[in-house]
Amino acid sequence: MTTETQDEGLEYNFAYLDEQTKRMIRRALLKAVAVPGYQVPFAGREMPMPYGWGTGGIQVTASILESEDVLKVIDQGADDTTNAVSIRKFFQRVAGIATTEKTEEATLIQTRHRIPETPLSEGQILVYQVPIPEPLRFLEPRETETRKMHALEEYGLMHVKLYEDIARHGHIATTYAYPVKVNDRYIMDPSPTPKFDNPKMNRCAALQLFGAGREKRIYAVPPYTDVVSLDFEDHPFEIQGWDQPCSICGDSTSFLDEVIMDDQGTRMFVCSDTDHCASRQAQGYQGPGQEAAE
Amino acid sequence: MYVAVKGGERAIDNAHRLLAEDRRGDPSVPDISVAQIREQMKLAVGRVMTEGSVYDPDLAALALKQARGDMIEAIFLVRAYRTTLARFGNSLPVKTGAMKIDRRISAAFKDVPGGQILGPTFDYTHRLIDFKLAADGELPEEAISSEEAAPHALHVLDLLAGEGLVEMPEASINDEAPGDITRTPVEYPMDRQTRLQSLARGDEGFLLALGYSTQRGYAKNHPFAGEIRVGRVAVEFQPEELGFPIQIGEMEMTECNMINQFKGSKTAPPQFTRGYGVALGHGERKAMAMALVDRSLRAGELGEERTAPAQDEEFVLSHCDNVQATGFVEHLKLPHYVDFQSELNLVRKMRKQVDGCMTSAAKEAAE
C-alpha cells in the first residue's frame, strides 16, 4: 500500500518503511515479546529524523501501524511538545492515519519519557522511544560484557550500585530510568521515564514495545507481565510525590511539572500529562491556581 | 493565570520558514546553483558522498545547499535518502589497481614503476589567502601536462608483496561475502571487512584524531604511506541473467595503503602489515586516517597488546558515526522536563538532609 503525501512527486510506502524492513522489525518484535525484557538486536534504518529524536520508536510504530489505527504521540507526557507534534505529523503524512490526544481513544501510543496517567487497556500498544536500552551501560560500557552479564543473569553489579546509593545517601538516588526486572529474568531499562511511572508497567494490560534506533535494539513487555522495580527489603521502592496538587486540575496523584512563572522565581506545579489534566478540567475539577485567578 | 504552553505546531511551521529564509541569505546575492557546488566545492561534495555512503555528486551538492554548508547535516540528508532507495544487487568489487590515475604518490620509495604523480594537491602550496580569487573569476592557467602520465599503475605494495615482506591484502580477509552494516545489526567482535565498512562512513574528524593518537604513542605502529592514489574506477555490475559483468559507470575515489612495521609473532614472520583506507571523491585525509585506524584495530588479530583507544574496536566503531553522534548529542535540546523535575525533587530532598545535618552539627558546636 502506498500513500500520497503532500509533497508533489514524492510517494512513500504506507508508514514510510518498505515492507521488507517492516517484516524484519516485526520479527525482532516477536522475539522481543517471546523473551520479555531481552534486548533484540535489529537492523535499524536511517530515518528522516535524527538519532535521539525517537527513531527507534518511530520504526517500531511504522512497522506495526495499520490504516485503521488511531495514533497518539506524547513527549514529556504532553501531546503538544514540539517533537510529539513533529512525529504525529510525520505519521499523518506518510500513513494518513487518524490521530488523537485522548489516551483511551488511541490504539497505539508513542511516548517519550512518560506513561499516560490514564490506565491503559487491552488491545492498546505503548511504544517507547529509548536512548540507551542497556540498563547496565553506565556500570559497564562494553556491549560484549553486558550481553554476557544478561546471559548469565549476572546482576550483582546493579545491586551493588543501588546498595552504594543507600550507603551514601540513605536512599536509592535514581529518579528516572529506574531499573526493573521483567518476568523474573531480565533487568530492563524502562527508558528515561520517571520512576513515578514504573508501577504502571507492572501487569499492564497493554503491550509495551521499546525501540532504540541508534543502538539498534528492540525489547518488549507483553500484557500482564510482572515488572518489578529493583529494591531492598529494608529500602522498598517508592515513587516521588509532591507537596501540592496540580494548580490547574487539582489532581494530587499525577506527575507534576514545575513551571517558573516570573523573574522572582514564583513556581507553580501542573500535570505533565496534558490529556489527563484537560479531561479532569472538562469534568469540572479545579486546582488552587484556577480558584485564585477567579 | 497559567495556560499550558500550546502552539508547538505553529512554532515548528514558523521555524521551518525562518530556516528557508536563512538558507537563502541576502536575496540580492545570486542563488548558488547545485552545479556550482558540485564543481567548485568538490572536496565537500566528496566528504558528503563518503560519509553519506552514496556516490552521487549532484545529490551531495544539493544536500550541501539544503544544509547551508553544514557537513554532518548534508551527510544526514544523503543517508536518509539512501535508505529509501531500492537495491538491485551488489556491484563487483572495484579494481583500484586499474584506476585511471589523477594522483598517485608513495612515501616509501623515491621512484616507483608508473611514477609519482602529484596531481591536484594542496601539499606544496603556501597557505596564503589568495585575494585574487575574491576579485575576479578568471579561469586558472592550464596545467602543463607531462608528456605521457601513465593512466594505469600497479599498486606499489603489490611490488613488494612478491618478496613476502608485505602481507598480501587478502591476509586478514575471509572468504565470506562482506557484511552490510546498513542491513544487519552491529555485533562485536566484527570481521575486518565489516569494520572497514564502518570506518569508511565514519566521521573524518573522529578518525583523524584517533589516527593522530596512534602516531603520538597511543598504539604506536610506525606507519608509512605506502601509496595514496586518487582517480577514476569503473563500476561493474553483473545482472543474474547475464553471464558477464557490464560497466555501469565510473566514480572518483581515493585509496590509501599504509604499511606498518610488524615484529612478527609465533605464527607469522616479521614483515610489514597493512592498514587500508578509502574515500569517495578526493579524500586523502579521510583515507589516510582510516588506514591508520584500520591497522590499529587489527591489534587483536596480530597478537599485539591492546592499550589505546584506537585499538578498542567497540569504542572506535560505536562512536565513529557522526550522524548517530550528532543525533544523540543534539537530542539534549529536546525537552527533558520530566527527568529534570525528578532530579530536582531528589536534589531538594538531599539538600534537606544535608541542611538538617549541618544545623544539628552547628547546634552541637554551639553547645
Q: Does B324 touch chain A (CB under 8 A)?
A: yes
Phi-psi category of A129—alpha, beta or left, where left has phi over 0 and alpha has psi -120 to 50? beta
Between B208 and A292, the higher pLDDT residue: B208
Q: Does A123 touch chain B (CB under 8 A)?
A: no
Q: Which residues of A touch B1 (CB under 8 A)?
A: 289-290, 293
Q: Does B79 touch chain A (CB under 8 A)?
A: yes
Position B98 scores a pLDDT of: 92
Q: Which residues 1-20 of chain B have a CB within 8 Å of chain A?
A: 1-2, 4-9, 11-12
Q: How far is CA B107 from CA A52, B96, B281, in A?
A: 43, 19, 21
* pLDDT band per the 50, 70, 90 thresholds, residue B7: low
What's the CA gap between B130 and B140, in Å, rounded?
A: 13
Other Cβ atoms less than 10 A from the Cβ of A263: the count is 6
Asked if pLDDT for residue B120 goes beyond 50, the answer is yes
Gap from A153 CA to chain B (nearest CA, Å): 20
Share of chain B above pLDDT 70, in %: 93
* pLDDT band per the 50, 70, 90 thresholds, residue B50: very high
Between B114 and A75, the higher pLDDT residue: A75
Phi-psi category of A209—alpha, beta or left, where left has phi over 0 and alpha has psi -120 to 50? beta
What's the CA gap between A48 and B353, in Å, rounded?
A: 47
Q: Does B347 touch chain A (CB under 8 A)?
A: no
Q: pTM score, two decimals?
A: 0.86
Q: Which residues of A are marked as active site?
A: 37, 246, 249, 271, 277
Q: Which residues of B touch A229 (CB under 8 A)?
A: none
* A60-69, A78-87, B228-237, B264-273: least confident range: B264-273
The residue written with cell numbers 569494520 in the block is: B195
For an interface test with A, the pick among B338, B339, B343 (most A C-beta atoms closer than 10 Å) comes out as B338
What kind and span of H or E run contains B324?
Answer: helix B322-330
Q: What are phi and psi of B133, to 5 degrees?
A: -60, -35
Other Cβ atoms less than 10 A from the Cβ of B286: the count is 29
What's the CA gap between B38 and B58, in Å, rounded?
A: 6
Q: Which residues of A touch B349 (CB under 8 A)?
A: 171
Nearest to B200 by CA among B175, B220, B179, B184: B179
* Polymer length of chain B: 367
Position A4 scores a pLDDT of: 46
Nearest residue in B to A49, CA atom: B80
What kind and span of H or E run contains B216?
Answer: none
Residues A104/A188, Cβ–Cβ less than 8 Å = no
Assembly ipTM: 0.77
Q: Are the Cβ atoms of B342 and A51 closer than 8 angstroms?
A: no
pLDDT tens digits for range B136-157: 767 777 776 655 555 678 888 8
Size of interface A-B (CB pairs under 8 A): 147
DSSP state string for B3-53: -----HHHHHHHHHHHHHHHHH--TTSPPPPHHHHHHHSHHHHHHHHHHHT
Position A5 scores a pLDDT of: 46
Gap from A76 CA to chain B (nearest CA, Å): 6
Q: Are the Cβ atoms of A51 and B323 closer than 8 angstroms?
A: yes
Q: Are the Cβ atoms of B6 and A192 closer than 8 angstroms?
A: no
Q: Are the Cβ atoms of B327 and A255 closer than 8 angstroms?
A: no
For an interface test with A, the pick among B197, B341, B344, B350 (most A C-beta atoms closer than 10 Å) comes out as B341
Position B150 scores a pLDDT of: 53
Nearest to A37 by CA among A176, A187, A179: A187
Position B1 scores a pLDDT of: 45
Residues B157/B166, Cβ–Cβ less than 8 Å = yes
For an interface test with B, the pick among A3, A82, A266 (most B C-beta atoms closer than 10 Å) comes out as A82
What tens-digit pLDDT sequence spans chain A (294 residues)?
455 444 544 578 999 999 999 999 999 999 999 999 999 999 999 999 999 999 999 999 999 999 999 999 999 999 988 899 999 999 999 999 999 999 999 999 999 999 999 999 999 999 999 999 999 998 998 999 999 999 999 999 999 999 999 998 888 989 999 999 999 999 999 999 999 999 999 999 999 999 999 999 999 999 999 999 999 999 999 998 899 999 999 999 999 998 888 888 888 999 999 999 999 999 999 998 776 555
> CA-based diameter of chain B, in Å?
99
* Residue partners of B215: CB distance under 8 A and separation at least 6: B223, B292
Q: What is the mean pLDDT of residues B115-135?
A: 87
* A133-137, A233-237, B173-177, B268-272: least confident range: B173-177
What's the CA gap between A277 and A285, in Å, rounded?
A: 9
What's the CA gap between A56 and A191, in Å, rounded?
A: 12
Q: Are the Cβ atoms of A47 and B83 closer than 8 angstroms?
A: yes
* pLDDT band per the 50, 70, 90 thresholds, residue B266: confident
C-alpha cell at B211: 589516527
What's the CA gap between A211 and A218, in Å, rounded?
A: 5
Between B351 and A217, the higher pLDDT residue: A217
Gap from B314 CA to chain A (nearest CA, Å): 7
